[in-house]
Amino acid sequence: MKVIESLAEIEIPFENAVVTIGNFDGVHKGHHSLMDAVIKKAGEIGGTAIVMTFEPHPLKVLRNGSSPPLITLYEQKKERIEASGIDVLICINFTEEFAALDPEYFLEKILVEKIGMKAIVAGRDYAFGKNRKGNIDFLKAMGGKLGYQVVLPDWIECLQEGDRISSTRIRETILSGDVGRAASMLGRYYQIRGEVVRGRNRGGKLLGFPTANILFQDELCPKYGVYAVTAEIDGKRFDGVANMGVSPTFGDDMFTAEVHLFDFSSDIYGKKIKVDFIARLREEKKFSGLDELSAQIKKDAETAREILRELKR
């Protein structure tokens, strides 16, 4: 996939460009359906399958930095879009000046003339630009004159409101800890990425369960509690059990994200780690002592092993 991060890089329009435009936070199943429609249409007209997205998230610019916590940061978003089979990702640097562009100018000068758009794939309620002027009616009305088609995938009409997959619903689901349901909407597990940092050396010494403490970049943290996870380090995947929270047994109220990896003893301080949340096991609890906590972690590890073993069958 070709990644274009500035419109100035585009010297000549793409061959029969088929475009879909959006924030694509989470790159979930709904987004994948749109991208599949783009790829299908591009196949039909011998064209280029293009996704246009924005960075930073428009709400970060328009609402003075307050935006919902992102499900996927740019790096992960790019990877997921690439995995869908899209030919070109155009990422627009979203600024107040860009936001102020007249939708008609954006459509004619940028999408049609610069990018060479011959078809646009739009979801339901689709609209871009100031005051959401660039909606489906507007796109349809301009299509004849500017020489592009509007493709509205027919599955969109059949969707019941309750079945609609949205980034908002996925965020809520992750915040509520239901990572299994989040996975069913994402089409993959919710993943955070970060670096293994030094903890307080309590896990191994006091409890017999050493943990990799993670300083993660992601904005969205699953609800505090214990989860069955898999983790990727140096391109290898490991099973484990994670605790997200403040370890209330210790009463120091310090947030940690930590993973105990099964059958693992390497030194991984400073390494990059990706953690997939497979299933939620329980709430975090305050135990009356270390033995009780340690016994519970042992049970958690067994439960997680069982869940992960089932998955591989």
Q: Does 211 bind Mg ion (CB under 5 A)?
A: yes
Q: Does 297 bind ligand RBF (CB under 6 A)?
A: yes
Which among 219, 302, 289 has a CA at the least distance from the CA of 260? 302
Q: Does residue 66 sit in helix, strand or coil?
A: coil
Please, where are the H alpha helices in 24-72? 29-45, 58-62
For the chain, where are the E strands, in sequence order?
A: 2-4, 17-21, 48-55, 88-93, 117-121, 127-128, 134-135, 149-151, 190-197, 212-216, 225-233, 236-245, 256-261, 272-282
Residue 77: which of ligand RBF, Mg ion, none does it interact with, CB under 5 to 8 A by kind? none
For residue 227, what are the β-bridge partners? Answer: 242, 280
Select the residue interacting with ligand RBF from 248, 268, 274, 305 (CB under 6 A).
248
Q: Does 211 bind ligand RBF (CB under 6 A)?
A: yes
Q: Does 299 bind ligand RBF (CB under 6 A)?
A: no
Q: Does residue 170 sit in helix, strand or coil?
A: helix
Q: Does 247 bind ligand RBF (CB under 6 A)?
A: yes
Burial of 146 by CB count in 10 Å (0-12 exposed, 13-18 middle, 19+ buried)?
middle
Q: How far is the CB of 50 from ligand RBF (least distance, A)?
A: 44
Select the residue interacting with Mg ion from 103, 203, 222, 245 (CB under 5 A).
203
* Residue range at the interface with ligand RBF (CB under 6 A); choices 56-64, 138-146, 161-169, 256-264: 256-264
Q: Does 199 bind Mg ion (CB under 5 A)?
A: yes
Q: Does residue 308 sit in helix, strand or coil?
A: helix
Q: How far is the CB of 221 from ligand RBF (least distance, A)?
A: 15
Neighbour count for residue 75 (Cβ, 10 Å)? 10
Cβ-closest position to ligand RBF:
249
Q: Does residue 43 sit in helix, strand or coil?
A: helix
Which among 170, 214, 208, 196 has a CA at the least distance from the CA of 70? 170
Burial of 202 by CB count in 10 Å (0-12 exposed, 13-18 middle, 19+ buried)?
middle
Q: How far is the CB of 248 from ligand RBF (least distance, A)?
A: 5
| Residue with Cβ nearer ligand RBF (24 or 238) | 238
Q: Does residue 264 sit in helix, strand or coil?
A: coil
Q: How far is the CB of 225 from ligand RBF (least distance, A)?
A: 8
Binding mask 5-44 for ligand RBF (x = CB under 6 A): ----------------------------------------
Q: Does 47 bind Mg ion (CB under 5 A)?
A: no
Binding mask 146-185 for ligand RBF (x = CB under 6 A): ----------------------------------------
Select the residue interacting with ligand RBF from 82, 104, 178, 284 (CB under 6 A).
284
Burial of 224 by CB count in 10 Å (0-12 exposed, 13-18 middle, 19+ buried)?
middle
The contact set with ligand RBF (CB under 6 A) reads 199-200, 202-203, 207, 209, 211, 226, 241, 243, 247-250, 256, 258, 260, 284-285, 287, 293, 297, 300
